[in-house]
Amino acid sequence: MRQDTGTTSVWDDRSLRSFGAPLEQSTTADVCVVGAGIAGLSVAHALCRQGMSVVVLDARYPGSGETGRTTAHLSNALDDRYSHLEKLHGADGARLAADSHTRAIARIEEIVKSEGVDCDFERLDGYLFLKEGDSSDVLDAEVVASRRADLSGVELSCWKFEQHAEALCLTFPRQAQFRPLAYLGGLAAAIRTLGGRIFGSTHVVGFEDDPPRVKTLRGDTVSAGAVVVATNTPVNDRVAIHTKQAAYRTYAVAMRIPKDALRILLWDTGDPYHYVRAARHSEAEDLLIVGGEDHKTGQPGDGYEQRFDRLTAWARRYFRFAGDVAYRWSGQVLEPNDGLAFIGRNPGDEHTFIATGDSGHGMTHGTIAGMLLPDLIAGRPNPWADLYDPGRVRARAAGEFAKENVNVAAQYLDLVKPGEVESAEQIAPGSGAVLREGANRIAVYRDERGAVHRASAICTHLGCVVSWNDLEKSWDCPCHGSRFDPDGAVRNGPAIAGLREA
């Protein structure tokens, strides 16, 4: 029983479900791509353009994962700041990061034009402004580092927020935005035209590297020359990458505003920071999309609803023209310990490649995967290969690595804590809670009709205790970000199997 519960993104596009027919017999291909978000379809599209045979598999349908829950900023102004990336990856690494994201935006623009994709792609400037109380030294350091990274046109400026005083800003010219699922629809259609095959409702449960093969829940297999795992977080291994990145929930609200009231991208220097754009909605109005309020998955602190309340209050403080909230949703972001994605050969494998660690820039990191992985699969050199190598170790990222893994270790203490409730009768309809039965932790969900659904509360990835997400109606793992439907079916990796029966 797959549950379509929780919030709805402004980008929701049910037409993509037409690509959801399942794989019903074993097959072969030059490359099998697992995951049909922006990374998977970007890779598949590039490979098809190069004349390779490609099979794409997705547990649901294209865009049903995190690509549809982004706010779709296309930016080379990276969240971790070039002043910080330069310390972690060196001056050459920062330049390569800037180059790759700049070229990713250009690649999206080229595909939109060549494939005739109607997705509201638009070039516009971006502004990084100081959060109140932050020192201007932050922007001074960033403008210098951005210029060293060869970003053109970056300069200090000011931005006036209506009734507020002018805010000191850093301007990043020629950023962009689009409608992500409309873009994915264009990619999917182009892949089909080029001879690629896309199968939805096909849950992959096994991977082999030599020879490369994936196995589905039905028992069918795809044998290939190479396998690309593009499932937001890798589901083909248990540990290798998951200690090097952390899963965070991030939130967004879309508020009605007058037509063309805002045609820029905005980000602030807060931690967690806010990010702002507009989207065309109708002939009469646009939507102001404001995101932020990040927290580690499964660790909501003061709750979920409060995130939206704070985002809405922040938006109305700076934009008096912001009206009613039309949409609100959350998404999942993978934060690598050194600020850049992991795109390349999976550690320890020869024919298996991964794309993960979006770091808040999933649209460009996913597009970079579509430019880098085809080169690696074909044995061609690529200047970004070392920068994004999943096997890399950056000594200066050791502190962040240790902090996140100490947090993970602390979550295992939940195994010895008492239950959140003493019995299922205490759980309200439409909600869930973890209770203890002897040594066992049980995830109990009471549906809207009052029926009780029980499953083990132990995540099938590495054994953490899941927690109930009352906003998205899911069981979320606080260790590595796996998520499960109310009845225990797996919704997001790295877990590959649902919660066990209880």
The arithmetic mean of pLDDT across residues 128-132, rounded, is 87
**Residue 421 CB neighbour total at 10 angstroms:** 15
**By C-alpha distance, which of 472, 473, 433, 471 is closest to 452?**
433
Q: What is the DSSP letter of 418?
A: P
| pLDDT score recorded for residue 351 | 97
Q: What is the DSSP letter of 349?
A: -
Residue linked to tokens 């409608």 = 179
The confidence band for 413, taking pLDDT boundaries of 50, 70 and 90, is low
**Residue 124 CB neighbour total at 10 angstroms:** 16
| Parallel, antiparallel or unpaired: strands 212-216 and 204-209 | antiparallel
Q: What is the pLDDT of residues 170-224, one digit of tens each?
A: 999 999 999 999 999 999 999 999 999 999 999 999 999 999 999 999 999 999 9
Sort residue 448 into left (φ over 0), alpha (ψ -120 to 50) or beta: alpha
In whole angstroms, how far apart are CA 225 and each of 13, 32, 218, 367?
33, 8, 22, 22
| pLDDT score recorded for residue 172 | 97
* pTM, full prediction: 0.94
Using DSSP's 3-state secondary structure scheme, residue 350 falls into coil
Q: Which residues pair with 33 in a beta bridge?
A: 56, 228
| pLDDT score recorded for residue 302 | 85
Q: What is the pLDDT of residues 232-246, one digit of tens each?
A: 999 998 888 988 999
Crossing angle of helices 82-115 and 180-193, rounded to 10°: 50
**By C-alpha distance, which of 169, 139, 370 is closest to 264?**
169
The arithmetic mean of pLDDT across residues 80-103, rounded, is 96
| pLDDT score recorded for residue 168 | 86
Q: What is the pLDDT of residues 399-409, one digit of tens each?
A: 554 565 567 56
The H-or-E segment that residue 246 falls in is strand 245-258
| pLDDT score recorded for residue 403 | 64
CA dist 180 and 416 (Å) reads 43
| pLDDT score recorded for residue 402 | 55
Share of the chain above pLDDT 70, in %: 93
Contact 344, 385 (CB under 8 A): yes
- Long-range CB pairs of 98-102 (<8 Å, 24+ gap) are 98/146, 98/149, 98/150, 98/151, 99/150, 99/383, 99/384, 100/364, 100/368, 100/371, 100/372, 100/384, 100/387, 100/388, 101/75, 101/76, 101/361, 101/364, 101/368, 102/76, 102/151
As given in the structure block, the two tokens for residue 390 are 């999943």
| pLDDT score recorded for residue 483 | 97
198: exposed, middle or buried (Cβ count in 10 Å: 0-12, 13-18, 19+) = buried
Q: What is the pLDDT of residues 100-127, one digit of tens each?
A: 999 999 999 999 999 999 999 999 999 9
Average pLDDT taken over every residue of the chain? 92
| pLDDT score recorded for residue 419 | 77
Better pLDDT: 159 or 40: 40
Residue 310 has pLDDT above 70, yes or no: yes
Residue linked to tokens 């998404």 = 331
Better pLDDT: 1 or 382: 382
CA dist 352 and 211 (Å) reads 10
| pLDDT score recorded for residue 408 | 58
In whole angstroms, how far apart are CA 18 and each of 112, 162, 194?
21, 44, 17
Q: What is the pLDDT of residues 21-64, one digit of tens each?
A: 999 999 999 999 999 999 999 999 999 999 999 999 999 999 99
CA dist 139 and 147 (Å) reads 12
Q: What is the DSSP letter of 465?
A: B
Q: Minimum mean pLDDT among 72-81, 278-287, 420-429, 484-493: which range? A: 420-429
Using DSSP's 3-state secondary structure scheme, residue 499 falls into coil
Residue linked to tokens 């024919």 = 351
| pLDDT score recorded for residue 1 | 39
The arithmetic mean of pLDDT across residues 154-177, rounded, is 84
The confidence band for 164, taking pLDDT boundaries of 50, 70 and 90, is low
Crossing angle of helices 362-378 and 82-115, rounded to 10°: 80
Q: How far apart are the first and last CA of the chain?
A: 17
Better pLDDT: 403 or 360: 360
Q: Supply the DSSP string of 381-411, one letter for each residue.
A: --TTHHHH-TT---GGGHHHHHHHHHHHHHH
